[in-house]
Structure 1
């Protein structure tokens, strides 16, 4: 999104009196959409002042619809937003700060990655998060004499590379490792920038948010890039995965898969107690995973902010946190909700994901520049996988990002 739109300061939209419009990206996701509809139904039935009406969009076209509506000053009052985009939407004038003090669930009790802040103001919150992990089978690791890593003692880089070499030498798997490289969109920065961060690099210098120099093209970033490419050149991982890497893992084609918590139940159904849910590798600066998923906010042009706030606070009940987590196979955003979701309770099989989200998660850079940074990083990572000179590719990425930052006056103001 180019330029600071300031659309939040003029015009009003999203409401006709006390009837408020809500937009969601869940048109193609019946389970999650069902929870949204239930909350709206409960809110409408529980009071007589406001009425919320839903408009659902397919995820693929949702962001474009929001941008177009913002330009036309026709945003709804209530809308969901992918967490990493919140700073850009707030800076662009799409979102208004929230007062969530009236909800039954306190903000302080949520996973930090499920509350989106920008310039010390809260603009959105989510009911759940997801966590990256590696999946394998205990029987496979045991066969090759590979230590099963634990949350407290993950694999080191040397251990991981040794494990890949042993499995590759066995010759029984099409993919020793599957990184999911056929996926598009936000997957590339979500899945691979945490590995970059574990090496010691980053997408941008977070001390100033004014340059990517040093973070994305420094020695540690180059090490990451060379490692990333080596997964292909050593024959450990395909340059481009199949369209169904999770199916490949469950069908026995893949020994180790880099995937997310959303696949945990299906993998458990397939392998039972033989499934190994592995923590991310420590490449030198600790294990890292991405943080933040879809969240809810209020448009700055909403003609009835009091009503929008009332709805958002109403939705902040533990039962809805539970419902969303169950519907989406995701990590409940609070401990109270986790206690009510099978597998995520203390000692539960999937509680490792909650711990990982608490201790390993790194939110993507909190800057309005993030959508651009994301696009540049995705292209750069693909180029590296395809054999581009690592240092040259990273230098170009830094140049492009820094030019964007300077062109937008480092996204100062709003």
Structure 2
């Protein structure tokens, strides 16, 4: 899924074979925007579908959905092609639009680039009004540009802190377990909690920040852009990073982030939290199965700390859309309607543990429903910010919906990594902001009419 996409590296368009997922999106040839509409077609016949090869459980769920769709009616036949996850985005990028499938999956932050390069069509005319209405607001925020929808997801994502109740209680740390009691859960209070926990810990390492994955990658952006948003900043505001990414409040927040390093377990074995070495783990919903198994009733789920503009989380994940050159948009839409029904969304989210991206499946989910162990994640997604109006009251922020996102995530995550390594936050953020703005200026702001 997108939060764990591999390192972005800027490459020449001829060097895509060397690139890893978001790297493939350097604006290569063409672009310049312009809406592209798939042809409606007859609504009958064979349609091609591409998807990323994920966990085996996800693949099995998708294959079963295709099989049941094909056997449920005789008008449309779906031919599914699974492409290894590490090759998926660069495969779409390297494939001419005329050779792309009728329906394709894509990693959420890549959508705007595919629209910009005329590889995705708006889906509003082809999926049913019921399907659109049942999509969560957070999912729709990731999939919309200029009032048109280009993608909808089966599942979403979210961040939080997992806590070890036994260790937190033994240290006397008070902590919130819901958004409703998060008032006062400030960055300063979080830092104070780390100091208290350290005093009770022989090794002094009490926090897991997934350090072993590195930060100069999509995890760096997904995992820690919430600090920027919670400080009242933004990765991009009105098409510019300068003044938004490097504003004083963000610089101060990044100094606080930097100050946590002495408390962090490098977690090279991936078991710092599960084995009880640390009391807190800053990560997403995907670690719940392993953590729940390891800690049982000692597991707590907390919101991220508030840097002044309210607690924030990232959101967004893989989504589905229609190829811009499809000649059978009606059939593609019919398949998407089926794919996004409760039965199939529930089967997929049971397979991967992610929060469902449809209202009805989310409300019925044993994990995410009211009173469920991961209700916090659903509550966060129920307060979406989109990618522009990041107020104090909203929580789930969409990464910038722009064809220039690869540059944003590359420059921000590099800055974050250097700050964690000891660099001056003000200089690192200002340098990143200038590089982002330079790239946007060189590409006319990546405007999509």
CA RMSD, aligned part only?
Answer: 2.3
Residue from 196, 215, 229 that aligns with 1:166 = 196
Q: Does 1:53 align with 2:79?
A: yes
Measured against aligned partners, the alpha-carbon deviations of 1:54-96 in whole angstroms (never above 9, x if no partner) come to: 111121111111101136x321111111112211211111100
d(CA) in 1 for partners of 2:440, 2:363: 43
TM-score by length of 2: 0.84
Cα offset, 1:299, TM superposition: 0.9
Aligned equivalent of 2:124: 99
Distance 1:39 1:122 in 2: 23
Correspondent of 2:51 among 21, 24, 41: 24
Query: What is the CA distance between 1:383 and its match in structure 2?
Result: 1.1
Structure 2 equivalent of residue 287 of structure 1: 311
1:255 paired residue number: 279
TM-score scaled by structure 1? Answer: 0.91
Q: Is the counterpart of residue 302 in structure 1 residue 332 in structure 2?
A: no
Match among 197, 202, 221 for residue 189 of structure 1: 221
Alignment map for 1:80-229 (pairs within 5 Å)? 80-99=105-124, 102-103=127-128, 105-115=130-140, 116-151=143-178, 152-154=180-182, 155-173=185-203, 175-183=205-213, 185-205=217-237, 208-209=238-239, 211-229=240-258
Say if 1:61 and 1:174 are closer, same or farther in 2 by CA, change over 3 A: farther
Rounded Cα–Cα distance in structure 2 between residues aligned with 1:143 and 1:331: 31
Contact map agreement 1:105 1:317 (CA 8 A) in 2: no
Q: Which moved more, 1:306-315 or 1:57-66?
A: 306-315
Cα distance between partner residues in 2 of 1:251 and 1:150: 22
**Deviation, structure 1 residue 172:** 3.3
Partner of 1:34: 60
CA contact (8 A) 1:103 1:316 kept: no
User: 43-52 or 179-188: which moved more?
Assistant: 179-188
Match 1:322 to one of 346, 359, 362 = 346
Partner of 1:313: 337
CA distance in 2, matches of 1:51, 1:368: 33
Distance of 1:113 and 1:326 partners within structure 2: 20
Structure 1 portions without partners, runs of 5+: none
Residue 262 of structure 1 and its aligned partner are, at CA, apart by: 1.4
Q: How many aligned positions are there?
A: 401
1:399 corresponding residue in structure 2: 434
Task: Show the counterpart of 1:237.
Answer: 264
- In 1, Cα distance between the equivalents of 2:35 and 2:244? 33
CA deviation string 1:239-278 (max 9, x = no partner): xx33453x22101222210011111232122211111111
Name the stretch that deviates more: 39-48 or 249-258: 39-48
CA distance in 2, matches of 1:413, 1:362: 21
Conserved? CA contact 2:165–2:299, under 8 Å: yes
Q: Deviations over 1:276-318 (max 9, x none)?
A: 1111111111000001111001110223222212211222311
- How far apart are the structure 2 equivalents of 1:387 and 1:158? 20
Where 1:286 maps in the other structure, the secondary structure is: coil
Partner in structure 2 of residue 367 of structure 1 = 402
Which string of whole-angstrom CA distances, capped at 9 and with x for unpartnered residues, describes residues 334-364 of structure 1? 3421344323222122222211221221001
1:69-80 matches, within 5 Å, as 69-70=95-96, 73-80=98-105
Task: Please tell me whether the aligned partners of residues 173 and 255 of structure 1 are also in contact (alpha carbons under 8 angstroms).
Answer: no
